[in-house]
Structure 1
């Protein structure tokens, strides 16, 4: 997929969302996590890691046939973080807690808020596709909390 197509998808979703978040495109996430996107609260910037997003799409769906939709879903999720009115309070709670179980629960809330927002931005016809992505995204939190989705 050409950079121009990626930028077009990003621009379309950004306009649709009405968000003023800044967006950067990179190839790889610099850390050891498997992150397709990252929202930086301090700079109000989303960075999308295109090669990581491709790898995630390949891992979940065994092909890149749905890469454009997968990219759109990941980006809508990151916009969900940027537009979350509760995020500042949740980050504060996260930073002030030393209890790992509590921290995981707060992190789960942060992720669920972003997915709820993304559901409003992504067309209804893609919701079943999105449900699969959400399942894989939230599963580690549910496992850590020993609860079922």
Structure 2
């Protein structure tokens, strides 16, 4: 049942976005970070990590009741990366500088671009829910820049 719900959410948002990105589902992110999704710019594939998304939802909302909506927001964000026409240029600029503050600023811009696009894919009535996720997601970037959100 849960996998059917996930597939329906992915299909709905994918069609709505018009993206040609491929989507892979896995249970856990294979690294130290707490990542619900990952976009690979080289092969144009989004990987969503079901159990990580559940854990994030539980951590942020103390429940998995909103799991479907949380997954939709995470997926919309990853599509935001996939459809960001500036992404390759931003990555090159980030890789091409030794200035840590500049790198952190570019990393924040990459995330904000993805969130801006994601907002267009999520229904208006879920935007306050989405804002909580966005604020939580961007907090480390603002902290890295020593800026308040």
Q: TM-score, normalised by structure 2?
A: 0.98
Shift of 1:46: 0.2
State the match for 1:20 in structure 2: 20
Shift of 1:98: 1.6
Alignment of 1:33-48 (within 5 A): 33-48=33-48
RMSD: 0.7
* Displaced runs of 4 or more, over 4 A: none
Tell me the SS of whatever aligns to 1:46: strand
Following the alignment from structure 1 to structure 2, what is the Cα–Cα distance between the partners of residues 104 and 28?
26
Shift of 1:101: 1.4
Following the alignment from structure 1 to structure 2, what is the Cα–Cα distance between the partners of residues 3 and 99?
43
Shift of 1:87: 0.3
State the aligned residue count.
Answer: 149
Q: TM-score, normalised by structure 1?
A: 0.98
Shift of 1:89: 0.4
State the match for 2:131 in structure 1: 131
**What 5-or-longer segments of structure 2 have no aligned partner?**
none
State the match for 2:81 in structure 1: 81
Alignment of 1:90-129 (within 5 A): 90-129=90-129
Tell me the SS of whatever aligns to 1:43: coil
Following the alignment from structure 1 to structure 2, what is the Cα–Cα distance between the partners of residues 141 and 98?
18
Shift of 1:94: 1.0
Shift of 1:53: 0.3
Deviations 1:23-56 (A, max 9, x none): 0000000011000000000000000000000000
Moved more, 4-13 or 74-83: 4-13
State the match for 2:10 in structure 1: 10
